[in-house]
A and B are shown apart, each in its own frame.
Chain A
Amino acid sequence: MKREKGERTGGMKMLNRRIGVFTVLLLAVIILAPGFAFGEEHSGKDYYVVYDDETGEEIFATSWQVSLADRYISTDNKLYEVVKVNTEEFKAYAHYVQTIQLPEVDEIFVEETFNTAQKGKKIGLYFSHSAESYVPTDGTDSKPGNGGIFRVGEAFRNGLEKNGIEVILDKTPHDPHDANAYVRSRRTATKLLKERLDAIFDIHRDAIPKEYYIDEIDGKPVTKVRIVLGRRNQNLNANEQLAFKIKAVADKMYPGFARDIYYARGNYNQDLAPRALLFEFGTHEHTRERAENSAALFADVVAKALYGGETPEGTRVRAEQQESKGAGSGMLWVLALAGLGGLGFLFLSTGGKEFRSKAGKFAKKEFGSFLGRIKRKK
């Protein structure tokens, strides 16, 4: 009995030690995590301004956290890559890489084809940050559960519907606006994707001074639109193709309206589908009506980009090849990662000779039932 008691005390000591180690590790994780935020709405107090690293000229501003290797395509299609970030002064520097050639858009062709392909078009819209609002109209930048952003989404939906597209608008709130907002909105996105959508869009607004987004089209006040791509997922290239196509159509229809494309660190649920994008309609400083006007016009752009080139033979083939190219590199990405992970694990769990021997046996063991029994001739 005595011995048992002693063992138990020893066990408790061990447990306490482990809890201690865990706490230290946890604290390290929390301290290393930059810029704590307690789930408040982006208010625009802190936003990044990004400059050209050679000329020193300002390129763009964003309320998003800018990270090294983020990419950015400007209104005039210049691709930049972020090379330096100063988190204290909210400044970053980007290096000009090249000018991107967006896909050719044949306007007449698009018009003709668009009107002929009217069946089976379906798009899903949702709001990861359901509280985002427009201060001049909504009186606040955050209305949990019923943000002004919902009205912008409705305007976008109406515009798409005018183009003969069925739209599923999901107003599920994902509040509070904390680190788990995207964990929650992922569930909404998955639910929407079960409806066999052609594309899914997450509707947002930015949180920087209004001047960056202000615009006017045919005498109507509008906000410019930013397309955001998550660069941490296997669908990046496929989604990038769609973003390029949307910007190309927008550049033809309303030059300057599609402000830019920002490649941010993160995935924004874009790993769920190869036609998933995030749009920013203006900032919290705009009137909501301005963003609604913008959403209505942008709906025409998206409709043409998605469905415009689908029917006639020539363009359809080209468009599909482009998208398949994006899909192909996505697949390579996934396979390479899986392969590397597998090899890494094999190496860890073995070593040297054993590794070589196990690597040989691995395929047999893991895929044995899949490949079936292969009889070898003697």
Chain B
Amino acid sequence: MPVGLVILIIVSALIFLGLAHRVLDRLRLSDGGALAVIAIILIGTFIPNIPITDRVEVNIGGAIVPAALAVYLFIKAGTAGEKTRAVIASVVAGAVVFGLSKLLPAGPEENQFMNYYYLYAAIGGLTAYILGRSRRSAFIAGIMAIILSDLVQGVVNWYVGMPGKTVFGGAGAFDATVISGVFAVVLAEVVGETREKMQGGTAKKGMRFDKGEFAGEEGKRGKDRGNEDVE
């Protein structure tokens, strides 16, 4: 393959991965941790899919790592309220993505949006933002929306006897799952920042910022911290 084309592929991938790295960084992952996750997603992309049954396969980079990260963020969520909202956002976004895949026109040329992946990311991000104004929830909802929608389609195909394979995250780093998770956070960040700019500053002025999140009011301990990290 000509050198120009190889460089084009590398540059596109680097930019996307760079963005993904910044996003993970915002999710309270350390710099090194975020880089490690990116590395595993990238390596996992090139490892052959893991067959579960005749009809189901899973890709490490496109589904297992993002889902594991979503679960990790869920466990680390600040409060029970945030956890509940993350679950609600995921289920709602998953249902909406599945519903839209039936409602929207089948040809990518027929939609008004940049691309369905970004639309799905927008749904995941918006749902999570409206419910909890949390970047972590946005990431969880972005990832789980695609996984849940794939799961439902797989079950429907199996039930009606339609031949087909459900390959969770099969496109690895370039799968709708990863793209949706990353852009959901970007969207939550952009909406959050715009809102803050419009209201003329953060509503968390009195709060202490520690390790990438608002960890509570000045002078108070971490247990009193607020759970909304985007406002």
Do A and B come together as binding partners? yes
Interface residues of A (CB under 8 A from B): 11, 15, 18-19, 21-22, 25-26, 29-30, 32-39, 64-65, 67, 70, 144-146, 172-184, 186-191, 194, 198, 230, 232, 234-235, 238, 264-268, 271-275, 320, 323-328, 330-331, 334-335, 338, 345, 348-349, 351, 366, 369
Partner of B31, one of A29, A238, A326, A369: A369
Contact A194 B106 (CB under 8 A): no
Contact B170 A324 (CB under 8 A): no
Q: Does B5 contact A (CB under 8 A)?
A: yes
What does DSSP make chain B's interface, helix, strand, loop or mixed?
helix
Q: A251 CA to B189 CA in the complex, in Å?
A: 51
Q: How far is the CB of B70 from chain A (nearest CB, A)?
A: 18
Contact B115 A267 (CB under 8 A): yes
Contact B101 A186 (CB under 8 A): no
Interface residues of B (CB under 8 A from A): 1-5, 7-9, 11-12, 15, 18-19, 22, 31, 45-46, 48-49, 59, 62, 81, 85, 92, 96, 100-112, 114-117, 119, 123, 126-127, 130-131, 146, 149, 153, 157, 162-165, 167, 169-172, 174-176, 189-190, 193-194, 197
Beyond A182-B116, A234-B8, A331-B7, is A324–B2 a contact (Cβ under 8 Å)?
yes
Closest chain A residue, CB of each to CB of B111: A33
Q: Which 5 A-B pairs have the closest CB atoms?
A: A187-B170, A145-B163, A324-B4, A266-B108, A327-B4
Beyond A32-B112, A180-B116, is A190–B164 a contact (Cβ under 8 Å)?
no
Beyond A274-B5, A327-B7, A348-B194, is A19–B131 a contact (Cβ under 8 Å)?
yes
Contact B49 A191 (CB under 8 A): yes
Beyond A194-B46, A345-B193, is A175–B157 a contact (Cβ under 8 Å)?
yes
Contact B167 A184 (CB under 8 A): yes
Partner of B175, one of A36, A180, A186, A234: A186
Closest chain A residue, CB of each to CB of B172: A190
Beyond A15-B131, A194-B46, A324-B4, is A273–B9 a contact (Cβ under 8 Å)?
yes
Q: A19-B131, A173-B163, A348-B197 are in contact. List 7 more A-B contacts (CB 8 A).
A: A15-B131, A21-B130, A38-B103, A264-B109, A275-B5, A331-B7, A335-B11
Beyond A144-B163, A323-B4, is A33–B104 a contact (Cβ under 8 Å)?
yes
Q: A281 CA to B47 CA in the complex, in Å?
A: 34
The total of Cβ contacts below 8 Å across the A-B interface reads 206
Q: How far is the CB of B212 from chain A (nearest CB, A)?
A: 13
User: Which of B19, B123, B172, B174 has most A Cβ within 10 Å?
Assistant: B174
Q: Which residues of B contact A65 (CB under 8 A)?
A: 105, 107, 109-110
Q: Which residues of A contact B18 (CB under 8 A)?
A: 338
Partner of A187, one of B127, B131, B171: B171
Q: How far is the CB of B58 from chain A (nearest CB, A)?
A: 11
Contact B103 A30 (CB under 8 A): yes
Partner of A183, one of B4, B123, B176: B176
Q: A190 CA to B48 CA in the complex, in Å?
A: 11
Q: Which residues of A contact B176 (CB under 8 A)?
A: 183, 186
Q: A107 CA to B187 CA in the complex, in Å?
A: 52
Q: Which residues of B contact A323 (CB under 8 A)?
A: 2, 4-5
Q: How far is the CB of B137 from chain A (nearest CB, A)?
A: 12
Beyond A190-B174, A274-B5, is A265–B108 a contact (Cβ under 8 Å)?
yes
Q: Which residues of A contact B104 (CB under 8 A)?
A: 33, 36-37, 179
Contact B193 A230 (CB under 8 A): no
